[in-house]
Amino acid sequence: MPDTLLMVADSERDANMLYATGLFVPDPFIWLKSGRRPLLVMSDLEIDRARAQAPHCRVAALSRIQNTLRREGIPSPRPAHVIRRLLRRKSIRAVTVPENFPLGLATELEQLGVRIRLRAGTFFPERETKSAAEIRHIAGALAMAEAGMAAAVQALRRSKIGRRRQLVYRGAPLTSERLRAVIDGAVLQAGGLAANTIVAGGRQSCAPHERGHGPLRAHEPIILDIFPRSQATGYFGDITRTVVRGRAGEAARKLYDTVRRGQQIAFQRIRAGTATAEVHRAVREFFARVGYKTGRRRGRMEGFFHGTGHGLGLEIHEAPRLGAFSTGALKAGHVVTVEPGLYYRQIGGVRLEDVALVTGGGAKNLTRFEKVLEI
């Protein structure tokens, strides 16, 4: 007999719940699958919408089950009581839950006689390989990211170089915060929601997840990393470009060309059947071979010290990973980012990121935005 699967979560933040239902709900609800059609237990506020938007699921009213439990002598029915009653009707004594299942609820269920089994790793392994519809959703979210990137490049191009190389845009200093607002506004107009967009210039660009703050300056690298979520589908896009407003120095130009070549090497390695770690190894060895070493210097990491990429879908970071310690092989239908980078404080950081669809014959680049260093 297949496992009885149980999730209790909201679908706005829980990717597994959104994947299973296709329904955006801000508050936690019950999803239970013991047969072919899952059961959703919804509040009166959401029940009609659930029936219309999740026709592949059966839908039950939470209030009706709670009223039945009150008549049976439970004055204040909790979710654990509701779940136990649903299971008892089918003589089910154990459920399989995802790794992020609420600990308090799991404890309550076990106290009520329900055995909890944890499914380690991915709750829905099929999420790793994307359907044609999912690929379209990711491409749509990627277009939103590209709209933000286009707005950023335009603002940088229109900015003027003031005293001490400080950029001035529309009469005021152009800061990471201002440019981030330009990007996020363009993404919003395109139908996406951007959070923690990275606009990091100069030495700040050497910390890969530094959001960036303060004035931006000419003639030094600025990393722009935009990863919005589509408001309509919940899928993510992800793009990174490194640009210089003005003229890049020779060291920065060489660093940029090396990262771009490293990304091309990664794309050449990506195809169904290739070990995920092999893609990363090829990039890392190329960087070392041309003289860009990775290691700790004066207490800071420099060189190439993050993974080459990660899966993209209903989460910004999901399986598979392309890193030194990642396991498994690429499969047709995987969608992964390809984002090598090099970071040296005396030069600045450079990262380039596109999104690849893995096929049996290679990688299809879903990203269309151009790569230009100097603006």
| CATH number of domain containing 249 | 3.90.230.10
Indicate whether 109 and 175 sit together in one domain. no
Indicate whether 119 and 213 sit together in one domain. no
Indicate whether 39 and 52 sit together in one domain. yes
Q: Is 263 helix (H, G, I), strand (E, B) or coil?
A: helix
Indicate whether 280 and 178 sit together in one domain. yes
Indicate whether 166 and 258 sit together in one domain. yes
User: 371 lies in a domain?
Assistant: no
Indicate whether 75 and 196 sit together in one domain. no
Question: What's the pLDDT at 174?
Answer: 98
User: 373 lies in a domain?
Assistant: no
Of 82, 103, 123, which residue constitutes the final position of a domain? 123
Which residues, in sequence order, are CB contacts of 275 under 8 Å at separation 6+? Answer: 328, 329, 330
Which residues, in sequence order, are CB contacts of 250 under 8 Å at separation 6+? Answer: none
Residue 91 domain boundaries: 5-123
Question: What's the pLDDT at 1?
Answer: 61
Of 64, 89, 123, which residue constitutes the final position of a domain? 123
Indicate whether 16 and 153 sit together in one domain. no
Indicate whether 161 and 142 sit together in one domain. yes
Of 95, 123, 151, which residue constitutes the final position of a domain? 123
User: 45 lies in a domain?
Assistant: yes
CATH code at position 66:
3.40.350.10
d(CA 148, CA 190): 9
Question: What's the pLDDT at 345?
Answer: 95
Indicate whether 199 and 278 sit together in one domain. yes
User: 374 lies in a domain?
Assistant: no
Of 243, 250, 259, the closest CA to residue 174 belongs to: 243
Residue with tokens 């060895």: 285
Question: What's the pLDDT at 2?
Answer: 78
User: 46 lies in a domain?
Assistant: yes
Indicate whether 193 and 333 sit together in one domain. yes
User: 339 lies in a domain?
Assistant: yes
Mean pLDDT by 10 residues, the chain (375 residues): 92 98 97 95 97 97 98 97 96 97 98 96 95 98 98 98 96 98 98 98 97 98 98 98 98 98 98 98 98 93 98 98 97 98 97 97 97 98
The CB-side HSE value for 74 (13 A sphere, CA atoms) comes to 15
Give one DSSP letter per residue of 54-123, joined into a string: -TTSEEEEHHHHHHHHHHTT-SS--HHHHHHHHHHTTT--EEEE-TT--HHHHHHHHHTT-EEEE--S-S
Indicate whether 189 and 323 sit together in one domain. yes
- The residues pairing with 211 across neighbouring beta strands, listed in sequence order, are none
Q: What angle do CA 315, 102, 195 make, to 5 degrees?
A: 30
User: 370 lies in a domain?
Assistant: no
Indicate whether 133 and 96 sit together in one domain. no
